[in-house]
Amino acid sequence: MKKLHLFTPGPTMVPGDVALAGAKDMVHHRTDQFYEIYEECAVKLQTIFETKLRVLTLNSTGSGAMEAAVSNLVSPGETMITFNGGKFGERWTKIGNAYRCNVHEVKYEWSDASTPDKLEQALKDAPDTVGVFTQLSETSSGVLNPIKDLTEIAHAAGKLIIVDAISGLLAHPCPMDDWDLDVLISGSQKGFMMPPGIAFIVLGPRAVEKMEKTDRTGFYFDLVAAIKNDAKRTHPWTSNVSLFQQLNVALDMLLEEGLPNIHKRHEIQGEAVRSAADALGFKRLSEKFPSNVLTPILMPEGIDSTKVAKFMRDEWGIFMAAGQNDYKTKIIRIGTIGYQDYFDTIMGLAAFEMAMKKFGAPIELGVGVKAAQEVFMSYLC
């Protein structure tokens, strides 16, 4: 027998009640039955995003919300600053280029972060920028960026800040209203404990004002149309009805746990995996700016992370992510996000140790697991 266990930074494992909600009878998306589900989700999402503003939902993965942010806020030829410290910072650049924007890209090593000094320099180099596009947590590198500090700098310069929190929301605090963010984005397949297919985007007043002046170039991701339809408790296009039935259940579970407890759970999980890696003698890519979404562990010389990940997946049903781009064969990314409890993590670490031992790493079995257990003991017992 082989069960499947996801320790990836997304998609993540889905609770049984959430999965079963997707099997409910289909309702039509232009009916009161769906409008009620839509509005229940919209109200609950305000608590998750810590905002009094409406949270728009798009029938796409998180990348759709990223594309919507660019196409609705930056006219062709206008300047946007992007921070590229990983694959998803790079995605901001690619989207900007696709929409013929003037992209001022700040590129840096994946172990680094979007630090305030980098933003201050970028604003000097590109003073005509419309906005700053960055990540809360960079999923390819496991780096957490200082969004509150970046927001203060961007606003002092009169610029918008647009935050991709697709993986980072719920794993870390990112309060829309308290931090005065302009745009905050997330996706269903990470901390929301959902299948992929719903993107979330919140627009602050400065972003809405800018959007009204933008030469918008999108159609499906027209946020003006999304706002108009949100007022009628629906979408401009066909809604992901079954996913919204699942979302309603997932949000109830998250709200019952409470945001402070959710943030603490992710903090403990992240600390446990980092402690395990350190105890085993492995270096971590994001040692200076660690995120609780995932821990990227550097492979010892001669061990290919893609082979380790494939072996665990195919032989044991344990899904962990190898690296991307230059780090494709050099890191294993162990996710600690979403529907994952402390004992799931212990199991995942045990499998990781066994796989690393099989591939020749000079480690003693149980050392990492023990370190994680000690972290959990300090909080739970």
Q: Mean per-residue pLDDT for 292-305?
A: 98
**How far apart (Å, rounded) are the C-alpha atoms in residues 273 and 279?**
10
pLDDT for 1 beyond 90: no
For the segment 12-39, the average pLDDT, to the nearest whole number, is 96
Q: Tokens at residue 274, please?
A: 């980092």
As a whole number of angstroms, the distance between CA 285 and CA 357 comes to 21
Cα gap 103→364, rounded to integer Å: 48
* 81 touches 131 (CB < 8 A): yes
pLDDT band at 34 (very low <50, low <70, confident <90, very high): very high
Mean pLDDT, the chain, integer: 97
The pLDDT of residue 163 is 98
pLDDT tens per residue, range 232-257: 999 999 999 999 999 999 999 999 99
Query: b/e map of 202-212 (b: 16 or more CB within 10 Å)?
Result: bbbebbbebbe
pTM for this model (two decimals): 0.97
Q: What is the pLDDT of residue 130?
A: 98
pLDDT attached to residue 218: 86
**How high is the pLDDT of residue 143?**
98
Strands 160-164 and 183-187: parallel
Q: Domains along the chain?
A: 5-10+258-380 (3.90.1150.10), 16-256 (3.40.640.10)
pLDDT band at 288 (very low <50, low <70, confident <90, very high): very high
Helix (H) or strand (E) holding 230: helix 223-230
pLDDT (tens digit per residue) in 62-101: 999 999 999 999 999 999 999 999 999 999 999 999 999 9
pLDDT at position 100: 97
- pLDDT tens figures, 344-354: 999 999 999 99
pLDDT tens for residues 168-209? 999 999 999 999 999 999 999 999 999 999 999 999 999 999
What b/e readout covers 42-68, taking b as 16+ CB neighbours within 10 angstroms?
eebbbebbbbebbbbbbbbbbbbbbbb
331 and 341 in contact (C-beta within 8 Å)? Answer: no
Asked if 190 and 9 touch (Cβ cutoff 8 Å), the reply is yes
Residue 360's DSSP bridge partners are none
* Whether the bond into 116 is cis, omega within 30 of 0: no
